[in-house]
Chains A and B, each alone.
Chain A
Amino acid sequence: MNEHHGQNDQEHHIVSPFIYLAILLCLLAATGLTVWASYIDLGEWHIARGVTLFWNPVVALAIACTKMILVVLFFMHVKYSPKLTKLTVISGVFIFLGLISMTLADYMSRAWGRW
C-alpha cells in the first residue's frame, strides 16, 4: 500500500513508440560506432610508471555503458519508474562494481612496490 504511485495501472507512464524508435536508432548507431572504433588504434596513456591505460577497451566499454543506460532508462522504463526501482538498479550496479573493483584492486596492488 506504500509507495504506490498510482491507483490503477492506467497511470503507468506509457512511452511513445517514437521514443522507442529513437532509442533503437541510437543503439544501432552505437553498435556501429563501437565496431568502427575497434578498428582504430586509439593509443594508450602512461599514467605512471607501470600503469598504462589503453584507450580502445575504455572507449568500447564507455559505449557499452551508454547503450546499457539507454536500454535501462527507456526500454525498461526506469526513467519513468518510482524511486524504488531506480534505487534497486543503482544498488545492483554498486555491488556489481564492488565485486569487480575490489577483486581487481587486490590483483593490481600485489605488484605495488615491484615496478
Chain B
Amino acid sequence: MSHISPVLWQFLVKWLTNFALFPPEASKIAPQADALYFFMVLVSLVGLTIVVLLIVGFSILYSKKRHPEAVQIEGSTLLEATWTIIPLGLFLIMFVWGALLYFRIYTPPANAMNIYVVGKQWMWKAEHPGGQHEIDSLHVPTGRAVQLTIISQDVFHSFSIPAFRVKREAIPGRYTTVWFEATTPGTYHLFCTQYCGTNHSQMIGDVVVMTPDDFRKWLQGSTSGHSLAQDGERLFASLSCNACHNTRPDARGPNLVGVYGSHLALANGQTVTVDDAYLRQAILNPSQNITQGYAPIMPTYQGQISEEGVFALVEYLKNLDSDYRIQQTLNTTVLPADSEGKAGGQTPAAAKAGGQGRGPGEVQQ
C-alpha cells in the first residue's frame, strides 16, 4: 500500500479514519465554550439563511423577466430598526456570554494547583512545584483545577490546548495565567499558536491528562529529587538574597516572610498586592517599585537568573508563610516530614537566611 504516493495514501486513509470535524472536549470549560460556539453557529446560520433566502427569493420574484418594471420605494424606518435592533441584541448576548466565559478562563480559583510554564524558541518547559520538569509536554490530573503561570524567555509564544479550549500568550517579561480543569484522561495536542520564528510549527507537544492516581505515580516517578521551592531556597542563598532579606532588625531589605499575598505600601504612595508577577518584577526590576521605608539598593538580577530560576525563587517566596517565622523563633531544629514539601522545605533556608550574616544566637529575636 505504501507504494502509492504518500499524498494519496494519506488522503485515502487518514481522511477516512480521522473524520473528526470537532475537537474533543476534555476540560470543564470546554462544554461551556462550545455551548456559546454552537449558539453563534446557529445565529450565523439563521442570519445567513435569511440573507440567502432574501437574495434568492427576490432574485426569482423580481427578475427582469417576471418583473420588468421596478417600483421605486424609499426605505422603511421600521425595517431599518428591526435589522438594527435584532442583530445588536444578539451580538450583545454573545458579548455578555463571551465575557463571562473569558473571565472564568482567565481568573484561576484560589485553590488551583500551580504549574509554571516557560516558552522559548522553540520549546515549552513546564515546572511542577514538586520539582518535576517536562519539555514539550504537560502532565495534569483530572478533577483538579490547574493554573498555569506562563512566561516567555524570548519572543511571544502562545500556549494552546484546543481540547481544553484554553490558550494564553506567553509574553517576554511578564507572567500571564490561565487555568483549566481536565476531565477526560488522554493525550491531547499542545500547540504554540503565536508565530515565533522559524520552528514555530515544531513548538508542539502533548498534554497528558491522567487520573489523580496515575498522576501521583507520575509525579513520584519523575521527581528530580528536590522541589521547586527547594531549588528556590538554594538560589536564595547562592545569590545572597539573604544578605539583605533576613530577620535581623537592621536588615537592609524587608522581611519576605508572608510577603506573598500581602498588601505592600510603596514609596510612591501606591499599594500593591504581591502576586507572582509582582515578585518577579521585584527581583528583576527592583527599583521600579520601591517598598515604603526602604532605599532602592537592591541590585537587579536581570540577566543573572533564568526564567526557571525566577520560577523557583517565586515558588520559594510564595511558601514562606508565617509558619516559618514561628518555627524560626522556636530555634529551627525540627524538620517536619511534610510529604508535600511545603513549609517544611523552607526550614533549612530559614536557618541559612538567619544564620549567614550573624551569630545564631540572635535568631531568637
Contact A115 B273 (CB under 8 A): yes
Interface of A is mostly: loop
A4 at the interface (CB under 8 A from B): no
Of residues 231 to 289 in B, which have CB atoms within 8 Å of A's CB atoms?
263, 268-273, 275, 278
The CA of A115 and the CA of B270, in the complex, are separated in Å by: 8
Contact A50 B270 (CB under 8 A): yes
Q: Report the nearest A residue to B273, measured CB to CB.
A: A114
Tell me which residues across on chain B come within 8 A of A44, comparing CB atoms.
269
Q: Report the nearest B residue to A50, measured CB to CB.
A: B270
- Tell me, rounded to whole Å, the shortest Cβ–Cβ distance linking B76 to chain A: 30
The CA of A52 and the CA of B266, in the complex, are separated in Å by: 12
Contact B270 A114 (CB under 8 A): no
- Tell me, rounded to whole Å, the shortest Cβ–Cβ distance linking B334 to chain A: 36
Q: Report the nearest B residue to A49, measured CB to CB.
A: B271
Tell me which residues across on chain B come within 8 A of A13, comparing CB atoms.
none
Tell me which residues across on chain A come within 8 A of B269, comparing CB atoms.
44, 46, 52
Contact B268 A111 (CB under 8 A): no
Of residues 92 to 113 in B, which have CB atoms within 8 Å of A's CB atoms?
none
Contact B275 A114 (CB under 8 A): yes
Tell me which residues across on chain B come within 8 A of A52, comparing CB atoms.
268-270
Q: Report the nearest B residue to A46, measured CB to CB.
A: B269
- Tell me, rounded to whole Å, the shortest Cβ–Cβ distance linking A88 to chain B: 29
Q: Report the nearest B residue to A114, measured CB to CB.
A: B273
Tell me which residues across on chain A come within 8 A of B272, comparing CB atoms.
50, 111, 114-115
- Tell me, rounded to whole Å, the shortest Cβ–Cβ distance linking A53 to chain B: 11
Bitwise interface map of A from 77 to 115 toward B, beta carbon under 8 Å scored 1, else 0: 000000000000000000000000000000000010111
The CA of A51 and the CA of B278, in the complex, are separated in Å by: 18
Tell me which residues across on chain B come within 8 A of A49, comparing CB atoms.
271
Tell me which residues across on chain A come within 8 A of B278, comparing CB atoms.
114
- Tell me, rounded to whole Å, the shortest Cβ–Cβ distance linking A49 to chain B: 6
Tell me which residues across on chain A come within 8 A of B270, comparing CB atoms.
50-52, 115
- Tell me, rounded to whole Å, the shortest Cβ–Cβ distance linking A104 to chain B: 16
The CA of A16 and the CA of B278, in the complex, are separated in Å by: 59
| Most A C-beta atoms less than 10 A away, residue of B270, B272, B275, B278 | B270
Q: Report the nearest B residue to A44, measured CB to CB.
A: B269
The CA of A49 and the CA of B273, in the complex, are separated in Å by: 12
- Tell me, rounded to whole Å, the shortest Cβ–Cβ distance linking B174 to chain A: 10
- Tell me, rounded to whole Å, the shortest Cβ–Cβ distance linking B272 to chain A: 6
Tell me which residues across on chain B come within 8 A of A114, comparing CB atoms.
272-273, 275, 278
Q: Report the nearest A residue to B275, measured CB to CB.
A: A114
Of residues 38 to 74 in A, which have CB atoms within 8 Å of B's CB atoms?
44, 46, 49-52
Tell me which residues across on chain B come within 8 A of A111, comparing CB atoms.
272
Tell me which residues across on chain B come within 8 A of A51, comparing CB atoms.
270
Tell me which residues across on chain A come within 8 A of B271, comparing CB atoms.
49-50, 115
Of residues 4 to 63 in A, which have CB atoms within 8 Å of B's CB atoms?
44, 46, 49-52
- Tell me, rounded to whole Å, the shortest Cβ–Cβ distance linking B317 to chain A: 17
- Tell me, rounded to whole Å, the shortest Cβ–Cβ distance linking B259 to chain A: 14
The CA of A113 and the CA of B103, in the complex, are separated in Å by: 14
The CA of A111 and the CA of B25, in the complex, are separated in Å by: 33
Q: Report the nearest A residue to B107, measured CB to CB.
A: A113
Q: Report the nearest A residue to B274, measured CB to CB.
A: A114
| Most B C-beta atoms less than 10 A away, residue of A46, A51, A111, A115 | A115
- Tell me, rounded to whole Å, the shortest Cβ–Cβ distance linking B208 to chain A: 33
Tell me which residues across on chain A come within 8 A of B273, comparing CB atoms.
113-115
- Tell me, rounded to whole Å, the shortest Cβ–Cβ distance linking B217 to chain A: 38
- Tell me, rounded to whole Å, the shortest Cβ–Cβ distance linking A70 to chain B: 34
Tell me which residues across on chain B come within 8 A of A50, comparing CB atoms.
270-272
Q: Could you name 21 residue pairs across A and B whose Cβ atoms are closer than 8 Å?
A: A44-B269, A46-B269, A49-B271, A50-B270, A50-B271, A50-B272, A51-B270, A52-B268, A52-B269, A52-B270, A111-B272, A113-B273, A114-B272, A114-B273, A114-B275, A114-B278, A115-B263, A115-B270, A115-B271, A115-B272, A115-B273
Other than the given A111-B272, A115-B270, 19 more pairs (CB < 8 A) read A44-B269, A46-B269, A49-B271, A50-B270, A50-B271, A50-B272, A51-B270, A52-B268, A52-B269, A52-B270, A113-B273, A114-B272, A114-B273, A114-B275, A114-B278, A115-B263, A115-B271, A115-B272, A115-B273
B-binding residues in A (CB < 8 A): 44, 46, 49-52, 111, 113-115
A-binding residues in B (CB < 8 A): 263, 268-273, 275, 278
Nearest 8 CB-CB pairings of A with B: A115-B271, A50-B270, A114-B273, A52-B269, A50-B271, A115-B272, A49-B271, A114-B272
